[in-house]
Structure 1
Amino acid sequence: MTKYEQLATDIIAKVGGRENILGLTHCVTRLRFQLKDEGKADTEALKAMDGVVTVLQSAGQYQVVIGNHVPDVYDEVVRVGGIDTGDTSTAPKKMKFGDRVIDLISGIMMPALAVMCAGGMIKGLAVILMVTGAVSDKAGAYILLNAIGDACFYFFPIIIGFNAAKKFNMTPFLGLIIGAALVHPTINGVDLNFWGMNFNASYSSTILPVILMVALAAPLERWLNQVIPDVVKTFLVPMLTLLVIVPIGFMLIGPAANAVSMVIMQGVEALTNFSPILAGLVLGATWQLLVMFGVHMMIVVMAMIPLAAGQPTAIMAAITWVSFAQTAVVVAIWLKTHDKKLKGIALPAWISGIFGVTEPAIYGVTLPRVKMFVLSCIGGGLAGAVSGALGMMAYRMGGMGLFALPSLLSVENPSRDLMYAGICLAVAMIPTFIAAYVMYQDDPVVNAIEDEGIPGAPTLERDTVLASPMNGQLMPLRDVPDGAFADGALGAGIAIDPSDGNVVAPADATVMTVFPTKHAIGLITDTGAEVLLHLGMDTVQLGGDHFDVKVAPEQHVKAGDLLATIDIDAIRAAGYSMVSPMVVTNTNDYLDVIAELTPDAQIEAGTPLLTVVADTQEAMGGAVHAVSN
């Protein structure tokens, strides 16, 4: 049994069981449940449990206060309860449209990321074996390896259909069958006469068509579940959903994509005739988007026609460099990030990218960080423009990534073409890598650091003086409009109602935690005090809006260094209190936490505010206790 497994099991039981949980998120100190019926939760029993600080019912949520180790308890609750954290019910309520699109695509792609990385690396291995002469492309070993690696991408609609159905709260296996129908060999990429009309659509290796179809299928399935009698709905609902959605999708989405592809193809032809440089720029910059929307195949076909006839084409040369630009961005992120999870994703992603398989890089690394994705598009566009300026051509069909380079070498002047390829590679990778490395910053993440993991881990043998992190008016914790803080359950401290939006470090410390919604920062001072700055009340609901955090986990700061800026007027206008507690979460490790000023005083940032008294010393006489005032 894991450390928090029993606690997680008991919490699930006391909130009314898994069937009573609609959604679950967490903030810095508490589990935030959305329950079907809060009346089914045994609040008093939860409060009495070891490992639970208290229970609050606020902001439409049932909040179980755990403390600093809430991320670990949250993970265990999710695992034990089988809670799907990809459900839309658990997504932040306030999100811009563009962010919603990115969240949707990333949420659908992330569960398949490991398999995508594996597929890309296996395809690369197969090509290496063939190029080095270890096996021929006719050998059984090569055919098998290539099939294993290619399967993930060719049958992508099946994987995406399953994940999209989960994201849209639809029966997952119904989404899987929709994807499988789209890549069925008897209808995929062949002429199909349906109701007197001819259709030809290809869906292999695409993602957006099946997502659109599942998005249409989800509300249809829910409606059918409401109107069809229970006795027959088990089989009738999926049957009717498939009968409606697959034909509609096949006849409308595929042809629409083909029509868009045809327009793009004609535009590329006209642009190439007008200016090869401009054509290379546009193709290189937009290629990844064209692939994502499944409208790139007509361009590929257009390029294959002359190659099959032995004629060179500039199109394949222009898009060769896109994967290298994407790879350069991912390498930069991999080198710079301190996020161990992101490093683990980025490493196989850039290895796959070298061989031209960039789906893991796009969906796992850059697309969720949209500026990095745009940067890769710019790099691809610049390299495409240089390719056009140099007059580079593809002379034969080649592989992907590095193994596409031989296809760019002419018989007449291969040394020149090799030099040109080196120039394009440099343009695609070097400036893109430098820009990504300079621009990339880790997203604030919950990353609780164990004391022994911090260089020069502090001891608790000295008093700690905490200065005010903000300008404003002091307030005793008991008056904070949040029971967990007011009762001192999260530790002793004091609160500030700020007069401006600057938040500074109260002492020399290491940043221990920055919550993704940016409303809370955890620090561990050089003397060992663990300090939580909670910026406003229930501001987790803002999803990070109006907060600009300037620091990252594991970063060391000096007293007075700027930690964050916040738009307090906008937050108050949105209906949230800006009362901001500062508490010492490891209060029990100390003799006392005492305030230097009366709780109703005005204070400036940097003014000594709290003294955290070590066990080895006596409390200061006549001081005002922070918790009791």
Structure 2
Amino acid sequence: MSNKDLSKQIITLVGGEGNVNSVFHCATRLRFKLKDNSKANKAALEKTPGVITVVENSGQFQVVIGNNVSQVFEQIMKETSLQDAEKSGSDESSESTGVLGKAVDIISSIFSPILGALAGAGILKGLLALILSLKWIDATSGTYLILNAAADSVFYFLPVFLAVTAARKFKANQFVSIAIAGALIYPAVVAAVGSPDPLHFLGIKIILINYSSSVIPIILAVWVQSYVEKWFRSFIHESVRNILVPMFALLIVIPLTFLAFGPVGSLISDGLASGYTWLYNLSPLVAGAIAGAFWQVFVIFGVHWGFVPIMLSNIATIGHDTMLPILSAAVLSQAGAVFGVFLKSKNPQLKALAGSSTLSAVFGITEPTIYGVTLKLKKPFIYACISGAIGGAIIATGGARALSFSLPGLLALPTYFGTGFIWVVIGILVAFVLSAVLVLVLGFKEPETDAAASVNPGGTSGTTTPTLIDKELVVSPLAGTLQPLDTLPDEAFASGAMGKGIVIEPSSGILTSPVNGTVTTVFPTGHAIGITSDSGAELLIHVGVNTVKLKGQHFTKKVKEGDKVVKGQLLLEFDLEAIRAAGFVTATPVIVTNSAQYLDVLKSTGTEVPSGELLLTLIR
């Protein structure tokens, strides 16, 4: 499925564009804030080719895509108006999340967009340090100057990057936020930090701090900025609002940041760094074992974002971080576990998924590994946690440290060069090899293939006979003329992205059930109905194209969600002529949304079909 088709299907299955408050992405996931999570078809999303799994966490509806997530996100931005803040609505939606959930949401929203730049720059910085130590480059050369600028700029100007993402999260003016960050790292201000002469603002002494690479001060400043702007916008006339609101925001927030938010934020950063260092020094072995064992559990629940500010604060305040190398053991243990699954599995689908997931996990992207393989199989995930604990303990005991931020994984090795580097190598090797060996030796429950064979009635162990072809018949819910799916003027259906099916141009406004089953979806507007048959076929009947715009006019629903229905039972009545008179296409697709689970979907070969006659044959 193309990225364009996948993006359209995802938006449809999360309840449509109108159900989305906001959406952004991290390294592997689309993170939706939905107005009503119950409108999203989670089961259908999880079965969609290109979607690994769906996770509901911290008030977010997370669709795990994998390494291709940025391209899918770009298509969503291109095909929808969700990039408009007015369209996306407020992030303060109706869901009730706790303080922890809200904090994790804020941190992930602010840090995830810049994570790639941070990781890439961190690896480059580590490689440059390695090259410099090997004396392959002169620290006074122009080459080093440029490469060091490329590696260090993201970290030095980190407040500027965070100003942009924080402004998006708090719905503040991005350019004013950038100006606030620029003031914090203004050359004259940075130069004044080392001056022995105290500075005052309107008689109040300024506590000068070097804010380059800082994290919390700018986030606090932008948060306050959002409220300052909102207050001034409430009464300043629109004719001068675009000029005066930014002016007052700069005039108020920048001095307050230097006098209050900056020092307080710096104290928080120092406290986080000192608190972690104190805990780590109590017992590096225990700290390493706990972090190595439970890091991927934190990833599952989404709370791992809470550690990112601590890591960045450690690097900014004490020059290094001891947590990042430990986490590499947790990541490589998952890579080892999925590699063990790849070697041991006889299931071709699982083997292919495990092979591709191994590569992404080695380089630090573990979501496809966890959700697609190890967590689903359960035992490999447990083996990986055990191996991660042992590898993390080895790394922590060796005193390893990261000199710059990067995603934990094999590519991050240059950032660990220096104290304890050899222990990092040993720790991640142990984590990878041990988890793979545990999977190979202790095994796991092998899932059945899609075309599972049945056991030979003779009872001989390991022998199978081919399964008989199973089929399900779907009758026509409408009387009318048949058309190929690709003739429908709606690309989401015509492309087959929603599944295989056929189109009926109805001759009457009577819609009946095509199967015996359960009504799973009845759109509030009545223009579409979803049914799951007793045999597991998932059907979507969508009357017309764009008829949702009628807002229920001309449609009369006869069933509700959860109703049990039989073939031929009345589901819906609609005024066919009135819909056509309103300018809408009435061609109606009948889609098997889980058609990927069938060997084939055979369509009726006629041109006309009465209601209740054979329409589709589903072959298992």
- TM-score norm. by structure 2 comes to 0.49
